């Protein structure tokens, strides 16, 4: 028996997943020049937007758990791009800030988005299509991020 709902071509998640992987692949040559990975680049972008944030704040912006983001932060610290220190107001919080090397990296990375968009403009998609897709994806992200765990599975216990 074949279930139509299980065909890959009928899934919403697969084209999003595949596009994400392919876009990340497009970033790779530029990030290799900087000596960082895509997840590290995302962390740096959050800090370039607003320096001196808690681990939890960065994790929320990137929709990553602390146990996922901590190794990224440790590696960025080892590379000399960030500092990690306990908050003076609340010892439970770890503050993340850019080093001078991390701030300098922003200037080196500034051209990456333009290069990627230029590459995408070689496709049949128009700029307004890309912007609409981005806005639609943010709507999906906002909806799924707002869901409570209880929304995910109905309680079938009696």
Residue ranges of the chain whose pLDDT lies below 50: 151-158
What are the DSSP calls for 37-84, one per residue?
-HHHHHHHHHHHHS-SEEHHHHHHHHT--HHHHHHHHHHHHHTTSEEE
Could you tell me the two tokens for 31? 């990030």
Residue 117 has a pLDDT of 83
Q: Is residue 91 part of a domain?
A: yes
CATH (domain of 36) = 1.10.10.10
Q: Is residue 86 part of a domain?
A: yes
Residue 156 has a pLDDT of 35
Residue 88 has a pLDDT of 85
The total of structural domains in the chain comes to: 1
Residue 72 has a pLDDT of 95
Residue 124 has a pLDDT of 86
Residue 57 has a pLDDT of 95
Residue 87 has a pLDDT of 84
Angstrom distance (rounded) from CA 79 to CA 85: 16
Residue 148 has a pLDDT of 67
| Domain residue limits at 62 | 11-109
Residue 31 has a pLDDT of 96
Angstrom distance (rounded) from CA 115 to CA 57: 29
Q: Is residue 71 part of a domain?
A: yes
Q: Is residue 90 part of a domain?
A: yes
38 contacts: CB under 8 Å, gap ≥ 6: 24, 27, 28, 31
């Amino acid at each position: 028996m074949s279930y139509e709902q299980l065909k890959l071509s009928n899934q919403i998640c697969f084209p999003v997943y595949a596009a994400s992987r392919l876009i990340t692949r497009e970033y790779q040559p530029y990030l290799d020049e900087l000596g960082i990975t895509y997840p590290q680049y995302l962390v740096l972008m959050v800090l370039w937007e607003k320096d001196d944030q808690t681990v939890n704040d960065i994790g929320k912006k990137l929709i990553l758990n602390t146990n996922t983001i901590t190794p990224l932060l440790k590696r960025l610290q080892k590379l000399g791009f960030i500092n990690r220190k306990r908050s003076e107001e609340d010892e439970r919080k770890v503050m993340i800030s850019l080093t001078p090397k991390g701030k300098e990296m922003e200037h080196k990375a500034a051209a990456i988005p333009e290069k990627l968009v230029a590459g995408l403009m070689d496709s049949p998609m128009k700029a307004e299509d890309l912007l609409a897709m981005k806005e639609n994806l943010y709507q999906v992200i906002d909806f799924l991020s707002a869901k409570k765990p209880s929304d995910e599975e109905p309680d079938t216990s009696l």
